[in-house]
Every structure is written in structure tokens, then in C-alpha cells.
Structure 1
Amino acid sequence: MVQTPNLIGKTIAITRALNQAQETAKMIEELGGKAYIIPAIEFKMPDDLTPVRTFIEEIEAKKASYVIFMSSNAVEFLFKEAAILNLSKKLEDGLNKATIIAIGPKTGETLKKYGIKLDFLPREYSSEGIVETIQKMGLSNEIIYIPRVKNAGPTLREKLEALKLKVQEIPVYEQILPKDGDLAEQFVNDLASGSIHAIIFGSAQSVRNLKKILENFLPTNRIKLFMEKVTIVAIGPETAKAIKEVGLRVDVIPKSYTFNAAIEALIDYWKQDH
């Protein structure tokens, strides 16, 4: 982690869900910056838990030998849903019989909290790192199960399918639009005044949601005008693609798909006199 206070005088907007933004805000403040929390996303459980029940039954029957977790959210929601279905023990036992891959150490820590062993952690905390790990394992014609957000981007699935693997994605949570209008209105005012220096997007849905939020107060051309003054950070290619699709540019993409890596990449970008 970067230790020197490299963010003095900088205000960085964080679009994470409110219950997850505090950790990122703390890092920004420790580096001398001001964290501006503008939640562009909330998480909820899917209405239909049938896919989760099916997954737990398959993993208990040892039909699911390889499981990838792409976020701590996926782990937390999966275990909440298993508890609702009275299948917690079956889920724990099944996962501990399978080969488990986590995208990063925080996801690994969340698995450990629930008593699940972690078998593989990629060298690079990204979809590319996951694919590299799978390639080194030499898998072929296996089924890879991925409990993850509903309507996730296709990048990982397509890359795994290109390796002749079958992919089963289990929707364990959904991303929805927050409803705090007062917070959004203040953000628009601060954006217009030029007091926000950077904004970090962690998912494609957070990009689309923030656009919807801003459009309640501003026409699209004004949004683009104000965002031209802001350094835009995208965590991952799916997020970068969504930013470009709404007509904005992407300035920074960290190599690892974490908010900590995003902040470090932002500091490096600004050091280059951008």
C-alpha cells in the first residue's frame, strides 16, 4: 500500500455501496485526500433462490468440483441464502470438497470466515489472473461454477469457454439503484463546482446507475461537460467499457481489480502531471 500522503488537496468520489465505502474512504483520508461517498449501487438478494438451491445440491453431490468466487459479496450472499434455505451445512461441506478459487485475498478472507478452505489465489487479482490460474491447472471439459452478481459481464465466462470449459453462473445477488435523492443533488452541485477531482467506478452497473441519478438533475451534455474536469478510474474492462458506452473517457484502469489498487493507480497517474 502507498504510505506517503499523496492525495493532499484532492477529493475522490467513491461509487461503492454505502456499507463498503468506508474502507476505501479511510485509505483516501490516510493518504491526505478527502473521500466523497456517492453510492451508485445497492445490493439485494434475488427473489428466486432456485438456482442457489440447485447449486448447493450439485456441490453436495460432488457434481460441482471447481468454484470461482469473484467477490466477498458473492460469498456473503451465498451463505445468507443457504441459511434461508436451511442448507448452510450442506453448502459448507460441499465447498470444502471442491477446488475453490478466489479473485483476491479479501474474498479469500471472507471464505475463511465461513470455514471454507481456499485452494488458489491468482497472481493478479483480476479476470485475467483467474484465467491464468485455470490455465496453469490444465483443466479441460470441466464445469466451472461461479456464484456471482446477476447479469455479470461476459468477459470471464467467454475466456473460460475459450479454454473448452463449461461455465455455470449462479446469480446470488443483484445490483440496484439507490434512492437517496438529497445525496445525489449535493453531488451534482459539487461536480458542477469542480470540487471533485476524481471518481472511481467499481462496476459497469455503478456507471449506468450514476448516469441515471445525474440525469434527474442534468441533461446528458452537461454531465459530460462536468465529468471532463474529473479523472475517471475504472476497475476492470467491463467497467471501462460501460464508461465509454455512456460517452465518457477512461483515464485509469488498475492492473488489479480492487479499490486499493485503483487509488494507487490514480496516484501514479497524477504523478505523471495529468
Structure 2
Amino acid sequence: MKIAITRLENKAADDQATCAHFGHECYTVSPLKAVILEDRIVEFADAVNREAFDCLFFTSALPAVLIAPKIERYPRVIAIGPKTAETLQDYGIDAETLPAYYSREFVPYLGEWLKGRSVGIPRADVPNPVLIEGIRAAGGDPEEVPIYGLEPTGREFALDGADALIFTSAMSFREARWRPHPGLLLVAIGDITADAMRDGGYPPDVTGNGTLAGTLEALNTHLSSIQA
């Protein structure tokens, strides 16, 4: 299949290799672009190097790319998923990976350890009040630091040749400009994105586990079931 995947502009990572592994080809469509906040990146990295945090939580690979090169020492580091952990490892930073690839797993994963601990969270300028409230309820002291903004590109997706469209976040769905066509499979990378798609009137045909690899595996299972 030919698959369109929503990614930030110029941030397709290794999607083509991952898709090829599952027998597909892919290309990027970009509903959003990142606006890097250099001053905030420097400030956050300086705070990490001053040992201001007991824990860092990276909720996607982009903050890892922006912050990791500037870190000289680091505390306990949690990555939301394997791709983010792999990116951190590329910079020599060991990270634990959440058992399920959603921010809601952060507090249950750390549990009692959070009590009295400070948590630095470099992320997009999109607050996550549920995560913050959960950390505080567990006795932790969270600090969300926006190190990049997200702006709509305003461009309509080119989907004429696509057999499937994977939305990789709820925001990428909400900000997308696209036109469905007969036979186009709609895919959500995880259940939060799936909920946004249902709320928007486009329930997904396939929902993944929060990773591209898991999503492609779910897509292949779906294709096998409809071809049987």
C-alpha cells in the first residue's frame, strides 16, 4: 500500500524504512510545522545541567533532538516510547521506556518514586493538564517547558495516490486539510488520536498502539482480515 503519514514539516524520521519493513511505501503530509524556541531550549538545558530536576520526561523524539546535545549530565530519564528512547540513546542518554506509549502511563509507572521529586518536561507549546495534575497528585513537582511551538501549515494533503492515511496525533488530525476519497483507509496511531477522529466525524478503520511500527502491524492485521 501507499500510505500518507502526518508528520511535522521536515520531521519524517525513518518512516520509509519502517513502512518498507511491513511491506508498504509511504510519504509525508504535514499539517503542522515546528517553531523552535531557542532561548527556552538553552534555559531548560542549563537547568538540567544545574541538577534542577530529579527526572526528565520526553514525550516525543523532537524534544530529545533539541535538548539532548546540550545536556552534560542527566537525572532519571523517561521516554514515552521506543523511538524517543532510541533518539536519546543516540546522544548517549539512557532512558526508560513507558510500558504503554502514552503520557497517562507516566504516573502509574513511577508511582511512589514521584513523591517529593521534581520532573522537567520539555515539549511543544501544548499543555497537558491531566499529566501535570497526575504528577502533583502523586506528590511530584512538575515543570512543563515549551521549547517549540506548533503552527498549521495550511496546506491541503495530496492524497490522490494514497491507499491509507495515518494520523500521528490528535492535533495533526484537527489541523489537517484533506479530502477523503473512496477506498482510503483512515488510521489512528493510538487511541487518543482515534478519539479525536471519532469526535471529528471520521472514525478510524485501524487504531495502533501509539507507535508507527505497532500501527503498521495493526494495519496489516486489518488487511489480512478483509482479504480472508
How high is the TM-score relative to the length of structure 1? 0.70
Q: 1:31 to 1:56 in 2, by over 3 A?
A: closer
Mapping 1:178-193, distance limit 5 Å: 178=153, 181=155, 184=156, 186-187=158-159, 190=160
Conservation of the 8 A alpha-carbon contact between 2:58 and 2:122: yes
Structure 1: state its 5+ residue gaps: 1-9, 81-87, 215-222
Conservation of the 8 A alpha-carbon contact between 2:165 and 2:186: yes
Structure 2: state its 5+ residue gaps: none
Match of 1:55, as an amino acid? F
Determine which of 118, 131, 138 is the counterpart of 2:107: 131
Give SS of 1:266's match: helix
Q: Deviations over 1:108-131 (max 9, x none)?
A: 23223333333x222333324433
Mapping 1:4-19, distance limit 5 Å: 10-19=1-10
The percent identity for this pair of structures is: 27
Q: 1:243 to 1:152 in 2, by over 3 A?
A: farther
> In terms of Rg, which structure is larger?
1
Conservation of the 8 A alpha-carbon contact between 1:77 and 1:173: no
Determine which of 143, 148, 168 is the counterpart of 2:143: 168
How many corresponding residue pairs?
A: 227
Please tell me whether residue 242 in structure 1 is matched to residue 219 in structure 2: no
Q: Deviations over 1:28-73 (max 9, x none)?
A: 33433342432222222027x2x44443343333331111111220
Taking only aligned residues, the RMSD between alpha carbons, in angstroms, comes to: 2.9
Determine which of 86, 89, 101 is the counterpart of 2:78: 101
User: Higher strand proportion, which one?
Assistant: 2
User: Higher helix proportion, which one?
Assistant: 1
Give SS of 1:14's match: strand
Deviation at 1:74, TM superposition (A): 0.5
Match of 1:100, as an amino acid? V
Q: 1:247 to 1:130 in 2, by over 3 A?
A: same
Mapping 1:103-118, distance limit 5 Å: 103-118=80-95
Determine which of 66, 71, 77 is the counterpart of 1:77: 66
Conservation of the 8 A alpha-carbon contact between 1:39 and 1:178: yes
How high is the TM-score relative to the length of structure 2? 0.82
